[in-house]
Amino acid sequence: MINFQFIFLAILVSCVALPLYLRLVPPNMFFGFREKRILENKKAWYDINQFFGLQILKGSLLMVFLSVLTPIARINIAHHELVILLLLILLSIYAVFVTRSYAEKYIRDNL
């Protein structure tokens, strides 16, 4: 049976990431990928946070795909809920590290 809780969670995470991807969030200290050099430059803020939002959206899409695929393919995963939550945590960490790398390269090349 498809676990709709995780699909809902992925949609919720996507709703948080979408404004970043659409460049709707102005520089601030509370929401987005924040670093002093990024906050000081509006173009850098929007470019880097758009990339960050995209990484989060990709992770959310993967989470939906796996939440739907595992029951349909009859893949039996022990502690299915724990695995999906662990995946969400790993995808979040991945998004931060990939964006960190992108931001360093962006700052080096553009600022």
pLDDT digits (tens, 9 = 90+) for 22-70: 999 999 999 999 888 899 999 999 999 999 999 999 998 988 888 787 7
Domain residue spans of the chain: 4-110
Q: Please, which pLDDT band fits residue 75 given cuts at 50, 70 and 90?
A: low
The CA distance from 77 to 71, in Å, is 9
Q: What is the mean pLDDT of residues 73-90?
A: 74
H/E stretch holding 68 reads helix 42-72
Owner of token pair 């969400």: 88
